[in-house]
Amino acid sequence: MKVLIVEDNNQTAMQYQLALEERNHDVVVTHNGEEGCNAYTKAMKVETSQQKNNLPFDVVILDYRLPVKNGIQVAKKITTKNPKQKIVFATGHLKEILSDEVRNPEISLKVMEKPFELDEFVNKIELFASA
């Protein structure tokens, strides 16, 4: 599974990355919303024959509060380019996300409220990505 993580807290990003790589997943980490958007755009330019279902990532993991562009802005930019992209918000700001307009039945979105155990996190990411 190929995963894009957009998380501004270096320690949290590293924990996600290590937990996912421990299960042999390919992980790209960025630390602000603009970097996340750029990494997504760059990955989309890879030949589509190398991508599963024309998606550059099996899942994108976003924090809500990010520098430069927040998680909602990143999600909107990604889903504008590819509405089938699966996105997971891993955040402590659940109420803010649920009330935002990114909640669209056509978009494959999951919200996980921090704190959570890393094993539980990876299990849910794997299930969501394979659904």
pTM of the model: 0.88
Burial 72-99 (b: 16+ CB within 10 A, else e): bbbbbbbbeeeeebbbbbbbebeeebee
What's the start-to-end Cα distance of the chain, in Å?
A: 13
Task: State which residues of the chain have pLDDT below 50.
Answer: none
The overall average pLDDT reported for the chain is 87
> Which residues share a beta bridge with 89?
62, 111
What was the pLDDT predicted at 48? 54
Rounded (to 5) percent helix, strand, coil in the chain: 45, 20, 35
Percent of the chain having pLDDT more than 90?
A: 60
Q: Which residue has the tokens 């996912």?
A: 20
The domains found in the chain, sorted by start residue, are 2-130 (3.40.50.2300)
110-128: pLDDT as tens digits:
888 888 899 999 999 999 9
